[in-house]
Chain A
């Protein structure tokens, strides 16, 4: 069993599919609390834009809630760590840095994302893989 941190891209993608989270079986899943807000926001926005139906979004959210994911709460220490990551990478925002800070907090863990730019920009700090590499 390996420790994985999921970002919003992989959580949304897996939630859209029946059995989408099956590829993570046998791994221990982790994420900052931000993940829940991001998944909720993305599903709502894409429903609003007509990309997915409200039923599909509801099913996706239910699948997401069924997963056992360890949550990193917004403690002062964790929030400071996200800012340090952003500073090291020269980023103005802390969204992606929040996921990277979670990886740094769990020894030997890896970040799973679909975001090619994130992998390119942050692989020098933490191991980053795509879901197809599991």
Chain B
């Protein structure tokens, strides 16, 4: 988990902007004492960061119909998010 200043640095936002998002419920956090901590997963989702895939083995870069192998990490993250 990361602090508000660290989240602000990663998203290139003002720390106060991050706190405002937390207060408004747009960004989820966990409070430890007076400090808000944010899960890295939550921040990545919020920042719209593309889930990154480790390299494919040889011969796995294309589906059988010739289309490129989809980003299966994005598929799994998406599946865990909602219904």
Contacts and interface: CB of A to CB of B under 8 A. Distances in A.
A95 B52 CA distance: 18
Contact of B60 (A8, A20, A42): A20
A42 B79 contact: yes
Interface in B14-70: 30, 37, 39-42, 44, 51-58, 60, 63-64, 69-70
Interface residues on A, range: 20 to 34
B79 A132 contact: no
A4 to B, nearest CB: 14
Given A12-B76, A38-B79, A132 B41 contact: no
Nearest to A112: B54
The 6 closest A-B pairs by CB, nearest first: A130-B54, A116-B52, A90-B1, A132-B57, A132-B55, A13-B72
Given A91-B39, A131-B57, 10 more contacts: A9-B75, A12-B72, A17-B64, A42-B79, A45-B75, A56-B63, A93-B80, A113-B54, A114-B54, A115-B54
